[in-house]
């Protein structure tokens, strides 16, 4: 009878020891995962944007897209005469601190509300850490007659979802001689 109680106590002691060991392992795993998650949490990036040129641009003849970075500034102004192949936008320098990871730049062109239901257009560019400070530009060209809508056109620039700039351009109907 003494041996039965002795075995029962040893088994319950063993069970308790195993439960404590399992509990400690779980605790260590959980705290280790939390430490690892904290280590992987990245420091927020502080952005600084400098807009250098804005206005009416001339797109090179060999570029056939609505978006172009290779354009020559013709006039620096916010009010522009609307016409076929009107190109407008801005150039900028973007600084990031710290520049330790890729950053997604999102350009959005928002046309004025119109009867022909023009929709916003969007383009994304990934900037690698070694490219900072990043010199960029965003030039939009009105390609067809449906896009020739007078009013305020807005170009938004975001970096990783954070709004950095809102550039308005007032496109005025062209005056016919």
pLDDT at residue number 64: 53
Token pair listed for 47? 């952005």
pLDDT interval class at 157 (50, 70, 90): very high
Q: Are 153 and 120 in contact (CB under 8 A)?
A: no
Residue 12 has pLDDT above 60, yes or no: no
pLDDT at 47: 95
User: Would the pLDDT of 31 be above 90?
Assistant: no
Residue 37, judged by CB atoms within 10 A of its CB (0-12, 13-18, 19+), counts as exposed
- What local confidence, expressed as pLDDT, does residue 133 receive? 94
Does the bond joining 163 to the residue before it have cis omega, within 30 degrees of 0? Answer: no
Residue 37 has pLDDT above 50, yes or no: no
**72 near 164, Cβ under 8 Å?**
no
Domain 46-172: which CATH number of 2.60.40.2390, 2.60.120.10, 3.40.109.10, 3.40.50.620: 2.60.40.2390
Residue predicted with more confidence, 22 or 93: 93
Domain-wise residue ranges, the chain: 1-41, 46-172
Instruction: Report the alpha-carbon distance of residue 115 to residue 173 in Å, rounded.
Output: 16
Q: Mean pLDDT throughout 39-48?
A: 78
* Phi, psi (deg, nearest 5) at residue 113: -65, 130
Q: Please report the pLDDT score of residue 23 as a whole number.
A: 66
Q: Rounded mean pLDDT of the chain?
A: 79
When pLDDT is averaged across residues 24-50 and rounded to a whole number, the result is 67
pTM, to two decimals: 0.69
User: Within a 10 A sphere around the Cβ of 96, how many other Cβ atoms?
Assistant: 20
């Amino acid at each position: 009878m003494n041996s039965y109680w002795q075995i029962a106590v040893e088994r319950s002691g063993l069970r308790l020891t195993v439960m404590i060991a399992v509990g400690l392992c779980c605790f260590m795993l959980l705290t280790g995962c939390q430490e690892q998650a904290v280590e992987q949490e990245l420091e927020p990036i502080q952005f600084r944007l400098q807009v250098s040129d804005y206005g009416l641009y001339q797109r090179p003849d060999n570029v056939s897209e609505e978006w172009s970075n290779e354009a020559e500034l013709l006039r620096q102004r916010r009010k522009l005469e609307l016409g076929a192949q009107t190109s407008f936008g801005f150039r900028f320098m973007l600084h990031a601190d710290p520049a330790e990871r890729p950053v997604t730049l999102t350009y959005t062109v928002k046309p004025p509300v119109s009867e022909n239901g023009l929709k916003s257009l969007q383009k994304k560019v990934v900037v690698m850490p070694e490219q900072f400070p990043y010199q960029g530009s965003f030039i939009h060209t009105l390609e067809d007659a449906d896009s020739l809508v007078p009013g305020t056109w807005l170009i938004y620039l975001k970096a990783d979802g954070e709004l950095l700039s809102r550039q308005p351009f007032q496109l005025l109907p062209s005056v016919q001689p």
